[in-house]
Structure 1
Amino acid sequence: MMKKLYLSEKNKKIAGVCSGLGEYFNIDPVIIRLGFILFSLLNPLTIILYLIATLIIPQRNNHTKKIAPPKNDSESKEK
């Protein structure tokens, strides 16, 4: 099964990019956040890349379809 990168909903601080990367690479998101801060101090282009990643990386779709229980046939026959 192929791993997919998603924005994280569990451990997000701003948009979930760093925590999503942490989940994908099995790394603590704090390390990725510290790296992001360091790189953004050295090169402000990192902030633009973060915004682009926020737009490109999809959100995980955790919504499951709720299926209505089947109607009881005896109720409909009585009417």
Structure 2
Amino acid sequence: MTTQKRLQRSDDDRWIGGVCGGLADYTGVDAGLIRLIVAVGTILGFGSLIVAYVVAWVIMPKADPHPSGEPPAPAPPSE
């Protein structure tokens, strides 16, 4: 059975909101490249990329830290 990809904010690969990391997970492109494209596009005058980032941050669901649906394993007791 194949799992369907979902566009969601990354919980692991995030700097601000996880939008670029989530987009990288979805597309298979390196997150650094996506961040570079967003940064350069913003600097070169595509200020709407900032608005698009904020909108995506609000709209995109946060990634489920446990995609298998199982609860996390309990931490071992500390001594």
| Residues 1-79 of structure 1 mapped to structure 2, 5 A cutoff | 1-42=3-44, 43-62=46-65, 64-65=70-71
- Structure (1/2) with the larger helix percentage: 1
Alpha-carbon distance between aligned partners in 2 of 1:62 and 1:38, rounded to the nearest angstrom: 31
Tell me the percent identity.
32
SS at match of 2:58: helix
Q: Partner letter of residue 42 of structure 2?
A: S
Alpha-carbon distance between aligned partners in 1 of 2:40 and 2:56, rounded to the nearest angstrom: 18
Runs of at least 5 residues in structure 2 that lack an aligned partner in the other structure = 73-79
Q: Is 2:11–2:65's contact at 8 Å kept on the other side of the alignment?
A: no
Alignment match, 1:75:
none
Q: Partner letter of residue 58 of structure 1?
A: P
Moved over 6 A (4+): none
Q: CA RMSD in A?
A: 1.6
Question: TM-score if structure 1 supplies the norm length?
Answer: 0.75
Question: TM-score if structure 2 supplies the norm length?
Answer: 0.75
What's the CA shift string for 1:16-43, capped at 9, x where partnerless?
0001011111111000000000111121
Runs of at least 5 residues in structure 1 that lack an aligned partner in the other structure = 67-79
How many residue pairs are counted as aligned between the two chains?
A: 66
